Amino acid sequence: MTTDAVSLDSDASALASSDATAGPAEASLPVYVDLDGTLISSDMLWETLWLLLCRNPLHVFSLPLWLLRGKAGFKHEIASRVDFDATLLPYREEVLDYLRVARSRGRRSVLVTASQHAIADPIAAHLGLFDGVLGSDEKTNLSGARKLEAIRQDARDADGNGFEYLGNDATDLPIWSAARRATLVAPTRAARAGARGLEAQVAEIETPSLGYRPALKALRAYQWVKNALVWLPIFLAHEMQDASKFSAVSIAFVCFCAIASSTYMLNDLLDIESDRRHARKRERPFAAGTLAIPSGIALMAALALGGFGLSFAALPLEATGMLAIYAVLTISYSLHLKEKLFIDVLVLAGLFTHRVLTGAVAADVRISPWLLAFSLFFFLSLALLKRYAELLATEDTGEASNERRAYEVMDLGLVENMGLAAGYMAVLVLCLFVSSDDVSKLYPNPDLLWLVMPLFLYWISRMWFLARHRILLDDPVLFAATDGVSWITGVLIAVVGTLAAW
């Protein structure tokens, strides 16, 4: 590596100054930019393959036949069947800034990629930063030596005297070796190590180093708070002190978290396009391109196998069956049911109630029908509250409906009325339970439980007010987990319950 290698910032002025340090000859070099991992943070082969399988899973049986045509033929078969939105891809802003400065200085820029022209051309057209595109076709996979030869030929045709190449992978080393200026973008370890031996001037466009954070973010560990519902049956049955039952529920909780995270990842993979259109969800790892699709699939499979394996080894077979039912329902919801009017909220409410049932099965505790009735109405109210908050956000954008949802902005009033009614029905069920003969079997001072009613009424009503005031913007359970008033209300309810049990 030459001693005049520089590190390039995303700031345009810094890019211009670093361009200047390269000297007049280098500053006029044509710029050739790789696509996968360089211009975008993801990989278009995996993007288009996953998109194809999401739209028509039966194509999975065609993949082996396409592979017989070689890599170029395989990519062509996929590209010819997939329409994608180039405006939604996770572009690296640092690279875009670099190209804007290069073009402002009169430098020629070319997108060169092993992806098919059907993939590369729409991307170049959308960005408007390239003077040409070099890509693969049905017979030629433009990678390795073929890519280098294509660059050399294009540079000669453009009366160039050398070129600059932007890449990220060790496979780019032969091209960097032939370049006058080698620019690294988010390089792999092998690429960075190999670049040390290059004779070309070497620079690096600095990009954020995320490490394992995207994988951890994809787990949605904050959602695990919902799985605490598995402890509710032994808590209400006053059997938390039973070590065997507590241990069984704890294992069920761990299994639930692993399996739930795997289904969250599947949901994010299925919603990549819609998430990229969303103001907040576009930052999810798959949508942002910070977690590679194959890495996510591998992690998703490991979580599912680990969760079911632990359950099968340590819990009753019935509990493993409950986890399997949860997985099937969640996957069905992600694939299809989330688009069905009202069925989606019934499924969401059912999944919350299913957590309670799983805890009861794992600990072999009889669950009260009162608890099931309360759970159904209470979680239905929360599911409708989530849809209500989403519709308000959709209304603010000026849209009539939300993608992959059956509700429209005109349904806001109906969703609000149904959600409040379900919440108050939950309180009514609680009132009927407290006035029943069953309550005296568990609580020596059952009359104290009437103090729970105003607390629940206050909390449910407040949550709906917060949503209407656009303070609660998404999942009400996650909002409550970080809301001080919700914590105080929960502590007061727990205190009342404890006093009633004395």
pLDDT digits (tens, 9 = 90+) for 148-184: 999 999 987 655 568 999 999 999 999 999 999 999 9
| Encoded tokens for 167 | 């890449």
The beta-carbon contacts of 166-171 under 8 Å, at least 24 apart in sequence, are 166/31, 166/32, 166/33, 166/34, 166/38, 166/39, 166/95, 166/98, 166/205, 167/34, 167/38, 167/191, 168/34, 168/37, 168/38, 169/34, 169/37, 170/194, 171/143, 171/144
Q: CA nearest 318: which of 279, 278, 365?
A: 365
What tokens does 255 get? 């299994």
Is the CB of residue 172 less than 8 Å from the CB of residue 165? yes
pLDDT value for 14: 40
- Specify the 3-state DSSP secondary structure of 205: strand
Q: Are 160 and 106 in contact (CB under 8 A)?
A: no
Q: What is the DSSP string of 37-82?
A: TTTBSS-HHHHHHHHHHHH-GGGGGTHHHHHTTHHHHHHHHHHTT-
Under DSSP, the state recorded for 36 is: B
pLDDT of residue 394: 87
The percent of the chain in helix, strand and coil, each rounded to the nearest 5, is 65, 10, 25
- DSSP label at residue 411: G
| Distance, CA of 450 to CA of 457 (rounded, Å) | 12
Residue 121 class from Cβ within 10 Å (0-12 exposed, 13-18 middle, 19+ buried)? middle
Quote the pTM value: 0.85
Contacts of 286 (CB under 8 A, 6+ apart): 218, 265, 268, 269, 272, 275, 293, 296
Stretches in the chain below the pLDDT threshold 50: 1-22, 24
Could you give the CA distance from residue 496 to residue 500 in angstroms, rounded to a whole number? 6
- pLDDT reported for residue 26: 58
Q: What is the pLDDT of residue 106?
A: 92
For residues 189 and 95, is the Cβ–Cβ distance under 8 A?
no
DSSP state of 134: E
- Token look-up 């070309």 returns 200
CA angle at residue 463 from 461 to 464, to 5 degrees?
A: 65
Q: Quote the tokens at residue 152.
A: 């050399």
Check if the beta carbon of residue 205 is closer than 8 Å to that of residue 98: yes
Contact 329, 353 (CB under 8 A): no
Compute the chain's Rg from CA coordinates. 28
Coil, strand or helix at 274: helix
Predicted local distance difference test score (pLDDT) of residue 6: 43
